[in-house]
Amino acid sequence: MCTVFLLVLCLTGLPLIFQDEISDALGTPHSAEAAPGAPLLSLDHLLASAQARYPGDATNFISLPDDDEGMATIGLIDKASAYHWVKYDRHTGALLDDQRQAGTQRISFMDVMLAVHGSLTLGLPGTLLLGLMGLLFVAALVSGVVLYPPFTPRGGAGTLRLRGNTRLRWLDLHNVLGMVLLAWFGVVGLTGVMNTLEKPLFGLWQATDVARMLAGQPGTPGPSRTPDTTTRIAVQFAMDEALRRHPHETVASILFPSEARHQPHHYLVWLHGDTPLRRELLTPVLIHASTGEVIDGEQLPWYLSMLEVSRPLHFGDYGGLPLKLLWLLFDIGAIVVLVSGIYLWISRRRRRVAPMTEVIT
């Protein structure tokens, strides 16, 4: 059963390695080209447009992707607690994409692959099940290393016996590929397990560190700093305040006040650096949504730092296209190892059943 789950993960992981390239080929919208340093519209202007498009829906987040600084994705929650998003050009304010065009929720091919790969489309229970399968996979790697030496072919480790029966050839191919890919199996397996713990780990951080940082903070709305009479400060002001505290970093996303995230009265602004490593290590800044008071977030705990670093490593996102191609070859090799393992298991059962059948007959 574990092997079948791993085979599904390898097959769905193939397109996810090239997620950006496939999305571009399928026509993912990007912002219009603009001159360097061209002014960007206020996030509140884009937010007002999204709210006018979907009146009554609550704003959940604003995401500012690295690969297109001129685009903003606004996440919304409707009255039925269903999530959807709209994308805008930050230079012109033009609507680039809407997940609910024509009133229906659009699901792309990559959305399906990511849902299957991340949770088998079963939500958090499926994600945790895959985490358990990942731990069993790592345990199988360790046991394989321990058990292989006593069964080493006479020609030595890594021998491919091209003569003999089919099962021996498959066994040698299975073992040799397993040895070649052992380190990669370990890296992908462990980072995959870390990724399955994303929601529980962030939930733990929000329930402990965030709650502690906000302890004693006033929850009653104070005077607004927005030009109108609303009780919530401008989201652009919140972003500017976070950047003022961290001028050498870039805003990745802004989470809106949420009881579920233990920040009912604060924006949570996530920032990151500009180096390959610092781009993955996020810095949190909490800003009171009514008073604008800033709580500079503490350094993320070690378990969240490990999670952030492991996510791109799992999909080979650190080294551009060359590393992705290498990940592709490794993934194909993993599929061969898993298929050969299934074949060896089935053939072994057949060999056991055949003598029993002969005795009975």
Displacement of CA 125 from its chain's centroid (Å): 16
Cα separation, 175 vs 177, in Å, equals 6
Helix%, strand%, coil% for the chain, nearest 5: 50, 15, 35
In Å, how far are 79, 254, 280 from 76, measured between CA atoms? 10, 13, 25
CB contact at 8 A, 68 and 60: no
pLDDT tens for each residue of the chain, 361 residues long: 788 889 999 999 999 999 888 888 887 788 888 777 788 999 999 999 999 999 999 999 999 998 778 999 999 999 988 999 999 999 999 999 999 977 778 888 888 999 999 998 888 899 999 999 999 999 988 988 887 776 666 655 556 666 667 777 778 788 888 888 999 999 999 999 999 999 999 999 999 999 888 886 655 443 333 333 357 899 999 999 999 999 999 999 999 999 888 888 999 999 998 877 778 889 999 999 999 999 987 789 999 999 998 988 898 887 788 889 999 999 999 999 999 988 888 887 666 655 544 444 4
Q: Considering only CA atoms, give the Rg of the chain.
A: 25
Find all residues with CB under 8 Å of 20, minimum gap 6, and list them: 67
β-bridge pairing 250-255 and 95-98 = unpaired
Q: How far is Cα 308 from Cα 290, in angstroms, rounded to an integer? A: 30
Signed CA dihedral, 110, 116, 119, 123: sign only? positive
DSSP state of 104: S
The residues with which 75 forms a beta bridge, in sequence order, are 61, 85
Q: Which residue has 């610092």 as its token pair?
A: 278
| Whole-structure pTM value | 0.83
How many secondary structure helices (H) and strands (E) does the chain include? 12, 8
Cα–Cα distance measured from residue 292 to residue 239, given in angstroms and rounded to the nearest whole number: 11
Q: Can you tell me the distance from the alpha carbon of 153 to that of 98, in angstroms, rounded to the nearest whole number?
A: 59
pLDDT of residue 317: 82
Q: Which residues are bridge partners to 285 per DSSP? A: 269, 296
**Helix segments in 151-181, DSSP class H:** 166-180
Residue 102 CA to residue 318 CA, distance in Å, equals 37
Measured at the CA of 301, the angle between CA 299 and CA 305, to 5 degrees, comes to 90
Instruction: Classify residue 335 by burial, with Cβ atoms within 10 Å: 0-12, 13-18, 19+.
Output: middle
CA distances from residue 131 to 2, 71, 137, 212, 342 in whole angstroms, order as listed? 11, 33, 10, 29, 21
CB 250 within 8 A of CB 244: no
Question: Minimal CA–CA distance to 239: which of 226, 252, 225?
Answer: 252
Q: How is residue 209 annotated by DSSP? A: I
